[in-house]
Amino acid sequence: MAQMEVVVVMVACLAFLRKVESPALRISCDPGEFPYSGTCCKSCPAGTHVEEYCTFLNTSTKCKSCTDGESYTEFNNGLHRCLLCTECKPGYKMIAPCTRKKDTECQCSDGYFCPPGCEECVKCKTRCPEGQVIMESCNATTDMKCGPPYPEASAALFTWVWIIPVSLILVPLVVWIIYKWSKSNSVMKKENEESTDHLIPDGNENVNSTIEGTAVSQDRLPETAERENLEMDNREQDLPNRPSVSSSLRVVCSSGQSSGRNDVQSSNKPAARIKTSHMETLENAYFQIKDMVGSDYWNKLMRKCGLSDNDIDNIKHDNALHFDEQHHQMLKTLRDRNGIVAAFHKIFAGLEEMNLYGIYENIINELKHKDLIIKETED
Pair 346, 280 in one domain = yes
Find the mean pLDDT for residues 174-185. Answer: 86
Given a cut of 90, whether residue 194 has pLDDT beyond it is no
CA distances to 8, 49, 63, 66, 71 from 101, in Å: 50, 11, 14, 8, 9
Predicted local distance difference test score (pLDDT) of residue 149 = 84
Q: Is residue 340 in a domain?
A: yes
Q: Is residue 209 in a domain?
A: no
Pair 80, 102 in one domain = no
Find the mean pLDDT for residues 315-337. Answer: 88
Indicate the pairing of strand 71-72 with strand 145-147: unpaired
* 3 state DSSP class of 83: strand
Q: Is residue 38 in a domain?
A: yes
Pair 77, 97 in one domain = no
Predicted local distance difference test score (pLDDT) of residue 162 = 72
Q: Which of 130, 147, 164 is a domain's end point? A: 147
Q: Is residue 141 in a domain?
A: yes
Task: Enumerate helices (H) and strands (E) in the chain, giving the number of each.
Answer: 13, 14
Task: Give me the chain's average pLDDT, please.
Answer: 74
Q: Which of 147, 170, 187 is a domain's end point? A: 147
CATH number at 54 reads 2.10.50.10
Pair 78, 101 in one domain = no
Given a cut of 90, whether residue 13 has pLDDT beyond it is no
Q: Is residue 181 in a domain?
A: no
Q: Which of 61, 84, 107 is a domain's end point? A: 84
Q: Determine the structural domain holding residue 75 and report its residue range.
A: 33-84
Pair 56, 72 in one domain = yes
* 3 state DSSP class of 37: coil
Task: Give the whole-angstrom CA distance, residue 327 versus residue 166.
Answer: 57
Highest-scoring range by mean pLDDT, 49-58, 84-93, 252-261:
84-93
Pair 356, 328 in one domain = yes
CATH number at 324 reads 1.10.533.10
Given a cut of 90, whether residue 150 has pLDDT beyond it is no
Pair 55, 74 in one domain = yes
Pair 310, 338 in one domain = yes
**pLDDT confidence tier of residue 83, bands split at 50, 70 and 90:** very high
pLDDT in tens, 199-244: 444 444 443 444 444 444 444 444 444 444 444 444 434 433 433 3
The residue among 162 and 87 whose pLDDT is bigger is: 87
Pair 299, 357 in one domain = yes
Given a cut of 80, whether residue 154 has pLDDT beyond it is no
Find the mean pLDDT for residues 89-102. Answer: 89
Write the DSSP symbol of residue 161: I
Pair 277, 367 in one domain = yes
Predicted local distance difference test score (pLDDT) of residue 193 = 63
Q: Is residue 172 in a domain?
A: no
**pLDDT confidence tier of residue 16, bands split at 50, 70 and 90:** low
**pLDDT confidence tier of residue 49, bands split at 50, 70 and 90:** very high
pLDDT in tens, 197-208: 544 444 444 434
Pair 141, 97 in one domain = yes
Q: Is residue 333 in a domain?
A: yes
CB 214 within 8 A of CB 192: yes
**pLDDT confidence tier of residue 99, bands split at 50, 70 and 90:** very high
Pair 66, 140 in one domain = no
Give the count of domains, the chain. 3
Predicted local distance difference test score (pLDDT) of residue 222 = 44
Q: Is residue 220 in a domain?
A: no
List the single range of 6-20, 26-40, 107-121, 160-174 with lowest mean pLDDT: 6-20
